Homo-oligomer: A and B are copies of this chain.
Amino acid sequence: MTKQNYNSRILSTLVLILLFLSFSSFAQQAKYVFYFIGDGMGVAHVAAAEAYLKATDDKNGDGLSFTRFPVSGLATTYAANRFITGSAAAGTALATGQKTSVNTIGMDSAKVKPLETIAERAKIEGFKVGIISSVSIDHATPACFYAHQPNRGMYYEISLELSKSNFDFFGGGSFKYPDGKDGQISAFDIARENGYRITQTKKDFANLKKGDGKVLATGSVIESSGALRYAIDQTDEDIPLEDFVAKAIELLDSKKGFFIMCEEGKIDWAAHENDGATAVKNVISLSKSVDAAIDFYKKHPNETLIIVTADHETGGFALGSALTKYDSDFSLLKSQKISAQSFSALADSLFLMRRNQNLGFAMQLVEDYFGLGGISGISLSNYEKKMLEDAYFVSTSKLELGHDEEYVLYGGCHPLTAAATHILNNKAGLSWTSWSHTAISVPVFAIGAGSELFDGYYDNTDIPKKIAKAMQIIINN
């Protein structure tokens, strides 16, 4: 070989290496995006769910899927007009990259200008779009991705915006008020008119297949609130949240890419009732939904971005309580059989059915459903027994407390439920400071294309901007 030939060879090899290095340093577009939002899920909810999984046999102690992601960040959540935010203002921040006032859906804080959402922009740019929630699909968080209303309570107006959104997939909860006021056309009918195929049973859901066009798939069991049941209350009759994610992937997977937002909305609801066992099981439900996304990511690791975050923390949740000090036993949460919400409904209906309401019967219910006290349950101290007795007497109006004291003790919940929940939570090592949201920064977990953008400490409005950057699109606000 001549020297010239030799040099040329080396030269071309080097050029190839350089080209490779140059390309590999360019960010790959996030073509497939999963945006998971655990409503009300603070760092404590994540840590409690991990601790519960490690303390029990569930999932062989592997922990949550998303805490193993390589990237984590923390995001501030404040609203334009209140430091402790609400789901509408936080949802708008997470969907549009703009701060707004509490209760506002996808509009500026003066409730005048509609804001473009990342989902709308993704649709315009050719991505398929799916919106999933375990609460009603017109609830604040999902609504913020397709609707623009001055108040989150305008459910009918929001459901009409959904029907006309042209998004490719809606799944999970149903409409909260599909029929609006008297004489208005059902939002379901309007969705049908706009080309949506609607499924409401497990069978129809299972039969959904690629090419079916636009889909609105509600759960097979829907509460009066429009939501799916709590994970702890679900049976084989329910379609769990992860199945909606798997179905969205099946239907939306295409060369155009997709943007799927999935909210686990009932972590927040459970936390509003200070119901640790139920909140933890809904965090695990979120983790299973993320598993479905991870399965897809493994097939397209260079083009898939998965984000898991929260809109705000709910409850001032902590893994430690004044009563238990340094002790904890998260496996005790297993002794709670149903959600606090279901227990309240059950207790009320049983008391209505029984002629002789008495303390003994109430205590028996607490033993049966929370595993507390009695012969078979976890033993109670005199202090805890008195908490339950006081709660029973308050609920039967035999004991009256001051307004503030009663609210601090029971929030808006059934007093017996609140006392039982607090006692079981405390015994496990969990406690709460509030029945409302709090303003602690929320965690962000990320993996895949563009995930490096999500490191550090930033504001919630930065999150959709970072996602848009990874998708190589720009939200027009």
Contact = CB atoms under 8 A, between A and B. Distances in A.
Contacts of A435: 322, 325
B432 A404 contact: no
B431 A402 contact: no
Contacts of A382: 402
A4 B6 CA distance: 10
A326 B101 CA distance: 13
Given A404-B381, A435-B325, A429 B70 contact: no
A2 B437 CA distance: 74
Interface string A129-145: 00000000000000000
A383 B411 contact: no
Interface size range of chain A in the complex: 35 or more
Contacts of A51: 83, 439
A438 B320 contact: yes
Interface string A379-396: 001110000000000000
Contacts of A441: 43, 46-47
A82 B327 CA distance: 8
A361 B445 CA distance: 53
A319 interface: yes
Given A316-B433, A319-B439, A84 B328 contact: yes
A114 interface: no
Interface string A450-462: 0000011100000
A369 interface: no
Copies of this chain, tallied across the complex: 2
A289 interface: no
A433 B321 contact: yes
B43 A74 contact: yes
A44 interface: yes
A70 B320 contact: no
A316 B3 CA distance: 73
Interface of A: 3-4, 7-8, 10-11, 14-15, 17-18, 21, 43-44, 46-47, 50-51, 67-74, 76, 82-84, 86, 102, 313, 316-323, 325-328, 330, 381-383, 402-405, 407-408, 411, 429, 431-441, 443, 445, 455-457
